[in-house]
Structure 1
């Protein structure tokens, strides 16, 4: 199986996200679609979002899910740090520290971390870059959350991100665009690009699962009135671009577009009794 062409690679990984960005901008940012969706979630009697102050829902959908990206990032940092220990042990095998670590039988872990140092460092950088991009956009657009605006009982005026955007200075106190909780789920896209590097057969299924996690993270905040639906789409687009560009720097295009490895075919074996007489050993 031949690897896709360079054109197909960039159309898929860059062209599709940019096309989605254009569609989100036209369908959501230039219309009232976000507000219409949020209005459907309001309690008609109180005019409030029913789940806004639900502590159980907040804990289950906002606080607990943070464990997944947080632990992934922490594991990558620990793995990256450990990856520098094994080369020192190999260089000075008779040193007291080296003998002590070998006696604890953790050298296989250190050897494995050194082998995958690039992957650990990639995940760390991808997480950091994605988080930086999201925080930059939040502070340079000053978009307030729905429940903070006068539309839903708040004190701030609703504005679109492009109305306040500034390149080099903070636009204001609003911090709602793109969706931060959704972006924390989408940061796991870094694992998808690691899977691509190793040509893992299940990489596409992993991608679907990660996208689903990000959309679930974002949608729960929409249900509470803390975000509009478009904020989730924008978060996914920016995190994808950040993770993909970082992967391109760490691994290169050819590694990321190599076809998935196929499991070896197992040829059926015939028992001696099932063989033709002319092929049976004497």
Structure 2
């Protein structure tokens, strides 16, 4: 039974993203679907992507949108640092400091950070590893953005990532594959694995919300001509694998595969019989 559970866990969490990778490669990288989709948002008369020149659209979808993953990462770093503070405050040695922290409501925050140190550290590492993987792939594939290619009025010839890929050295100046902005949204998948650790019954909502955020981030850049749609899919695949492997290192498979806790309905709880009740 345990081996079956292990097989199912790996089949779902590794098998699905790897299957998606094959589909994306065959459907997008070996066809012209990416270009056909981007053509829908390109104005051949002005040789521009009109939405790329709408400053409000750029500000909302690219500048302001960064707040969500950036603040999440910063909170995780602060929480990780604070988590080391509370255990160093001994009641017998620092009673006045502890009393002061209790009075200003800081002590509960420090206790919470200390209790969830592993979670804060996991988010920090998952964000860092995901970002590192994306930056590595960008540098070692040297793919230029659509708007930079001759297809859309640029100066660089369009090439797919596998045509330039170099494992050990930087392949060139292109930095467009996978989607960096999309990966910022997908890094929120780290919170899904934290939710799974605690078997939170809304963990799937966190999963779907993180995926939706990544696709929204990626699609808005496609509309502006700065990415192809496949770049978003690839970003999601690599970030998922990075977060998953990091979660396995921090929490272990057994914890992550446990079923989520279900809400207990009061109507389903059996009430004890009354003392004065008689059998019918």
Task: Give the match for residue 29 of structure 2.
Answer: 29
Measured in 2, the distance between the counterparts of 1:93 and 1:186 equals 45
Measured in 1, the distance between the counterparts of 2:166 and 2:220 equals 29
Task: Give the match for residue 52 of structure 1.
Answer: 52
- Between the two proteins, the alignment pairs up a number of residues equal to 276
Q: Which runs of 4+ in 1 moved over 6 A?
A: 268-271
Matched, 1:279 2:251: no
Task: Give the match for residue 77 of structure 1.
Answer: 77
Task: Give the match for residue 11 of structure 1.
Answer: 11
1:242-261, aligned counterparts within 5 Å? Answer: 242-261=242-261
SS of 2:266's equivalent in the other structure is: coil
- Deviation of 1:44 (Å): 4.6
- Deviation of 1:46 (Å): 2.5
Measured in 2, the distance between the counterparts of 1:91 and 1:277 equals 49
Do the aligned residues in 2 keep the contact of 1:218 with 1:229 (CA within 8 Å)?
yes
Task: Give the match for residue 112 of structure 2.
Answer: 112
Task: Give the match for residue 145 of structure 2.
Answer: 145
Matched, 1:123 2:101: no
Do the aligned residues in 2 keep the contact of 1:3 with 1:259 (CA within 8 Å)?
no
- Deviation of 1:65 (Å): 0.6
Measured in 2, the distance between the counterparts of 1:92 and 1:127 equals 38
Do the aligned residues in 1 keep the contact of 2:98 with 2:107 (CA within 8 Å)?
no
Measured in 2, the distance between the counterparts of 1:91 and 1:182 equals 47
SS of 1:59's equivalent in the other structure is: helix
Task: Give the match for residue 136 of structure 1.
Answer: 136
Do the aligned residues in 1 keep the contact of 2:134 with 2:238 (CA within 8 Å)?
yes
- Deviation of 1:99 (Å): 5.1
Q: TM-score, normalised by structure 2?
A: 0.92
- Deviation of 1:9 (Å): 0.3
Do the aligned residues in 2 keep the contact of 1:92 with 1:98 (CA within 8 Å)?
no
Task: Give the match for residue 264 of structure 2.
Answer: 264
SS of 1:120's equivalent in the other structure is: helix
- Deviation of 1:184 (Å): 0.1
- Deviation of 1:276 (Å): 9.1
Do the aligned residues in 2 keep the contact of 1:4 with 1:257 (CA within 8 Å)?
no
SS of 1:262's equivalent in the other structure is: coil
Q: What's the Cα RMSD here?
A: 2.3
SS of 1:213's equivalent in the other structure is: helix
> Structure 2: 5+ residue runs without aligned partners?
none
Matched, 1:41 2:41: yes
Measured in 2, the distance between the counterparts of 1:269 and 1:183 equals 44
Task: Give the match for residue 63 of structure 1.
Answer: 63
- Deviation of 1:50 (Å): 1.1
